[in-house]
Amino acid sequence: MAAQVIDGKTIAKQIRDEVKQTVEHWRREQFVPGLAVVLVGDDPASATYVRNKEKACQEAGIYSEVHRLDASISEDELLRLVHTLNQRPDIHGILVQLPLPEHIRSERILDAVDPSKDVDGFHPVNAGKLLVGKPGIFPCTPLGVIELLKRQDVPIAGRHAVVVGRSNIVGKPAALLLLREHATVSVCHSRTPDLSAITRQADILVCAVGQPELIRGEMIKPGACVIDVGINRKPDGKLVGDVCFSEAVHVAGQITPVPGGVGPMTIAMLLKNTLACAQLQRSSV
């Protein structure tokens, strides 16, 4: 039997509607959440991501402003902008779109963002909170993975979750969030010698690798829930995930498609994180 295909678009729309309702409620109390996005240079993919984030904020009623800066901006000038945004009471979330130009040390910029305004959840303070199990602001894509599982009623506690990929943006936080939900977690990466021996044990398989269709049908445990984070463009222009969907759909119990799975969840969770940051600052005044 073919797997149930998890509709990330519909779930993301539900979340965006919930965010919109909260914002309407807050606006009636004269409180408007605000997000500042910083875009440096003219990378077309980054420009598209930023436009989508701006549009999503508008639809949800969140105030947003985009700082479009020339690629030649110095690290110190960029830091000054981040410090200014940190101080502004009308801005509750700050997002610095990556990648930054080579002459700018991304780490220095991301570390300068006030952790309570860190909508991307990349600041070491928030990463540390995730590690030690404290509440904090956590990265949007892994949060989207957990939200998809929960809203699909996929049980997590006590199950074996395998995460392929160990980046700071997706793999590691996904593993920690699954651990927080009481899964037994394995993390695989490029040095894992026999990848399929591990992936075949997964009740929940999260793939965040960036290699088109690396995970074949025979690498999946029958009935497993497969969450494909990968977004890869093939030479023919087709968008595919890290999982070979046409094979996996006959083995898995549930599976996310690419596009239309995890992708739409990332922006939905960014909106949720903006509200979480706004709430943090609201309750601290």
Binding site for ligand NDP (CB under 6 A): 141, 164-167, 169-171, 188-192, 195, 208-211, 214, 229-232, 262-263, 266
Nearest to 40 by CA among 98, 81, 121, 116: 98
CA angle 263–146–239, rounded 5-degree value: 20
Residue 114 or 120 having the CB closest to ligand NDP: 120
Does 42 participate in catalysis according to the annotation?
no
Query: Least distance (Å) from ligand NDP to the CB of residue 265?
Result: 7
Sheet order of strands, 254-255 included: 4-5, 254-255, 225-228, 204-207, 160-164, 184-188
Measured CA to CA in angstroms, residue 219 lies from 102, 226, 232 at distances of: 38, 11, 19
Does 120 participate in catalysis according to the annotation?
yes
Separation of alpha carbons 75 and 107, rounded Å: 11
Catalytic residue among 114, 118, 120, 228: 120
Query: Least distance (Å) from ligand NDP to the CB of residue 259?
Result: 9
185, 179 in Cβ contact below 8 A? yes
With CB atoms as reference, the residue minimizing the distance to ligand NDP is 167
Residue 32 or 195 having the CB closest to ligand NDP: 195
- Segment (H or E) for 107: helix 106-112
Query: Least distance (Å) from ligand NDP to the CB of residue 197?
Result: 12
Residue 33 or 165 having the CB closest to ligand NDP: 165
Residue 114 or 261 having the CB closest to ligand NDP: 261
Query: Least distance (Å) from ligand NDP to the CB of residue 48?
Result: 13
Among all chains, which residue has been given the structure tokens 């690396």? Answer: 214
Residues annotated as part of the active site = 53, 97, 120
